[in-house]
Amino acid sequence: MRPNGAIVIDPTGADIHEEAERIRVLGPIARIELPGGVRAWSVTGYEAARQVLADTRFSKDPRKHWTAFSDGTLDPAFPLIGWAMMENLTTSHGEDHARLRRLVTGAFTTRRVERLRPEIERTVDRLLDALESESGDAPVDLRSGFAEPLALNVICELLGVPQDVRAVLFSGGEANVDTTNTSQETASVIERVHGIAGELIESRREQPGNDLVSDLIRARDEDGSRLSEAELMGTILLLVSTGTEPVKNLLTNTISELLGSPGSLAAALEGRTPWGDTVEETLRVQAPVAHLPFRFAVEDVEVAGTVVPRGEPVLIHYAAVGRDPAIHHRDPDVFDPDRADKRHLSFGHGVYRCVGMPLARLEAEVALSSLFRRFPELRLAVPASRLERQSTFIMNGLSSLPVRLGKKVTE
């Protein structure tokens, strides 16, 4: 902690839950220091987070509402500068945000998403077949071999992103969430990604398809006031990364929690605990998006008795919010899918609430039920204490999830 009381955030994200508890001790909203020495606020309390997320006096537009960004005092080498530079829904406010959000929400309604179920099932089966055929009982990585390709394929099918550029486009989102990267490292990946995304936009412009990228291009070209060229690019890249990174974490976090809790796994497999409850409990106790930048106070705003001065940045600590002892009185840190109250804000709340929530829930239900039904003997290939974390405090994920599949059950 700094003499001024701010908790210094660990860029490696080695133990985000321990760090969250140190912030929580200071109150539901507290001072933190980000890599690069940038001062900000972190909201760890459930009620405080609900207030901030629903309060229009908090904006997500750094250009208009982050004083240090707009007056040029923010160091361009600030490692998280990419989170302020991008142009998409997540860096817009008010009518601009509503305009951008309207362009994508239609593709992610529960009804539209349910139509993707057969495609998700086919992808899950194909990935499990591949893992099984290559593994015998040797260790396989469920992050790189299952969770990540599933999430990436599903969102890219919907967008119409060709197979050969999917991984490159996703690497932009990955570089952005790696909080050990320097701003130059992130910028060079993003530059490459922009080049590839630009080519994709041009090719879809020439040959439109029945996909979301083509719909967005049509919206842009028919009426430029609905979407600028930079926003078009930003929105496509946002959807590739938000459609992949947190879903991958939700899957790997649920699998590792279940493998550490045989009773909960048996209850899920026997149908005593619905898969949906297991997924909600992971969202609460292992929020896939952990500590998310940025919101900015449009004016001085009081939150839980503390005044956030105008123009200062605020992060929501979703991983802390789900474990808030003020609402989860009994063992808030324990994974228990049968607990009655699984309240969390892990998909956000208010006008910026996650667009992809129905899709994420559907993917998780299909993936987890298929995986564990087919491989009921699945087990970790290393001790749980040796599972390595992704180098980020923004996301809550594993860098790999090595398991042995065990004997297959054929249905």
Among 152, 155, 200, 403, binds ligand HEM (CB under 6 A): 155
> Least distance (Å) from ligand HEM to the CB of residue 298?
15
Residue 352 touches ligand HEM, criterion: CB under 6 A? yes
| CA–CA distance, 324 with 41 (Å, rounded to integer) | 17
Q: What's the alpha-carbon Rg for the chain, to the nearest Å?
A: 21
Give the count of beta carbons closer than 10 Å to the beta carbon of residue 247. 25
- Among the residue ranges 63-71, 304-312, 347-355, 365-373, the one whose residues contact ligand HEM (CB under 6 A): 347-355
Residue 296 touches ligand HEM, criterion: CB under 6 A? no
Report the residue number, 355 or 405, with the smaller CB distance to ligand HEM: 355
Residue 242 touches ligand HEM, criterion: CB under 6 A? yes
- Among the residue ranges 122-130, 138-146, 210-218, 288-296, the one whose residues contact ligand HEM (CB under 6 A): 288-296
Among 48, 292, 301, 315, binds ligand HEM (CB under 6 A): 292
- Among the residue ranges 243-251, 255-263, 320-328, 382-390, the one whose residues contact ligand HEM (CB under 6 A): 243-251
Residue 233 touches ligand HEM, criterion: CB under 6 A? no
- Among the residue ranges 140-148, 211-219, 319-327, 353-361, the one whose residues contact ligand HEM (CB under 6 A): 353-361
Number of residues counted as binding ligand HEM (CB under 6 A): 25
Residue 269 touches ligand HEM, criterion: CB under 6 A? no
Report the residue number, 318 or 405, with the smaller CB distance to ligand HEM: 318
> Least distance (Å) from ligand HEM to the CB of residue 53?
6
Among 80, 85, 239, 405, binds ligand HEM (CB under 6 A): 239
| Interface positions, 26-85, toward ligand HEM (CB under 6 A) | 53
Instruction: Give the CA angle between residues 266, 267, 271 to the nearest 5°.
Output: 115
Q: Between the CA of residue 101 and those of 38, 53, 369, 370, what are the distances in Å?
A: 29, 16, 32, 33
Residue 246 touches ligand HEM, criterion: CB under 6 A? yes
- Among the residue ranges 263-271, 306-314, 346-354, 375-383, the one whose residues contact ligand HEM (CB under 6 A): 346-354
Report the residue number, 91 or 400, with the smaller CB distance to ligand HEM: 91
Residue 243 touches ligand HEM, criterion: CB under 6 A? yes
Q: Between the CA of residue 155 and those of 94, 111, 149, 387, 400, what are the distances in Å?
A: 27, 16, 10, 27, 21
Report the residue number, 227 or 360, with the smaller CB distance to ligand HEM: 360
Among 52, 89, 197, 378, binds ligand HEM (CB under 6 A): 89
Residue 216 touches ligand HEM, criterion: CB under 6 A? no
Report the residue number, 318 or 372, with the smaller CB distance to ligand HEM: 318
Paired strand residues for 297: 58
> Least distance (Å) from ligand HEM to the CB of residue 153?
12
Cis omega before residue 335 (within 30°)?
no
Among 193, 216, 227, 289, binds ligand HEM (CB under 6 A): 289
Report the residue number, 152 or 380, with the smaller CB distance to ligand HEM: 152
The candidate with the shortest Cα–Cα distance to 365, out of 281, 275, 296, is 275
Residue 212 touches ligand HEM, criterion: CB under 6 A? no
Among 103, 236, 238, 303, binds ligand HEM (CB under 6 A): 238
> Least distance (Å) from ligand HEM to the CB of residue 89?
4
> Least distance (Å) from ligand HEM to the CB of residue 169?
13
The 3-class secondary structure across the chain, one letter per residue, is CCCCCCEECCCCCCCHHHHHHHHHCCCCEEEEEECCCEEEEEECCHHHHHHHHHCCCEECCHHHHCHHHHCCCCCCCCCCHHHHHCCCHHHCCHHHHHHHHHHHHHHHCHHHHHCCHHHHHHHHHHHHHHHHHHHCCCCEECHHHHHHHHHHHHHHHHHCCCHHHHHHHHHHHHHHHCCCCCHHHHHHHHHHHHHHHHHHHHHHHHCCCCCHHHHHHHHHHHCHHHCCHHHHHHHHHHHHHHHHHHHHHHHHHHHHHHHCCHHHHHHHHCCCCCHHHHHHHHHHHCCCECEEEEEEECCCEEECCEEECCCCEEEEEHHHHCCCCCCCCCCCCCCCCCCCCCCCCCCCCHHHCCCCHHHHHHHHHHHHHHHHHHCCCCEECCCHHHCCECCCCCECCECCCEEECCCCCCC
Task: Report the interface residues with ligand HEM, using CB under 6 A.
Answer: 53, 89-90, 101, 155, 238-239, 242-243, 246-247, 250, 288-289, 292, 318, 346-348, 352, 354-356, 359-360
